[in-house]
Amino acid sequence: MEKIVVAVGSKNSTKIEGARRALKRVLGKSAKVRIVPVAVSSGVPSQPFGHQTIRGAIRRAKRAYAEVEGAKYGIGFESGLFEFDSKLFDIAFCALYDGKGYTLGNSMGFAVPGGIEKKLRGGKADMGSIVAKISGIKGIGSRKGAIHFLSGGMMHRREMNEQALCCAFIPRIAKKKGIV
């Protein structure tokens, strides 16, 4: 079996591990996959809102794909804030690019607690830096994530990325099954 080369548009361990786990689920445990992490710019603010999040994921996927010779896929993850019913929700998006087109998926999301939401709406800081300050955990976004701290350890950022990539594969899986 030939090795599948996948470019991930980040060096963040939660994104790389989320991709690894999702690829095992989607391609099967016996699939030989080589993940190549690539530091690329998302081209969006450090705290993206709404569609900026999706654009950032797409840019990361395309830029990673372009950087890695022989890549079958470029994967871009971007976490951002979305407003529903006057509340901010933190949701991760994933773009899966194959050189011709991309598919998108997103993770579970959670309502941002009020005090943090107020600071985010002020526009002076991003989720990671706010929660890092509250928790005392430096670089929380490349560790277990704000979700881990805010959920009392129940959830992990890696899971959000894993879900988002699995969901980005759904249109491709459906197409293989003849579902248009």
Kindly give the confidence (pLDDT) of every residue in the chain, 180 residues in length, as a single tens digit, with 9 standing for 90 and above. 689 999 999 999 999 999 999 999 999 999 999 999 999 999 999 999 999 999 999 999 999 999 999 999 999 999 999 999 999 999 999 999 999 999 999 999 999 999 999 999 988 899 999 999 999 998 888 789 999 999 999 999 999 999 999 999 999 999 999 997
Cβ(102)–Cβ(167) below 8 Å: no
Please choose, from the candidates 43, 34, 29, the residue with its C-alpha nearest in 3D space to the C-alpha of residue 95.
43
Between CA 165 and CA 158 the distance in angstroms is 11
Between CA 27 and CA 56 the distance in angstroms is 25
- The number of beta carbons lying within 10 Å of the beta carbon of residue 116 is 18
Model pTM score: 0.95
Give the distance from CA 96 to its chain's centroid. Answer: 10
Domains and CATH numbers, the chain: 4-111+157-176 (3.90.950.10)
CA torsion sign for 56, 119, 110, 144 is positive
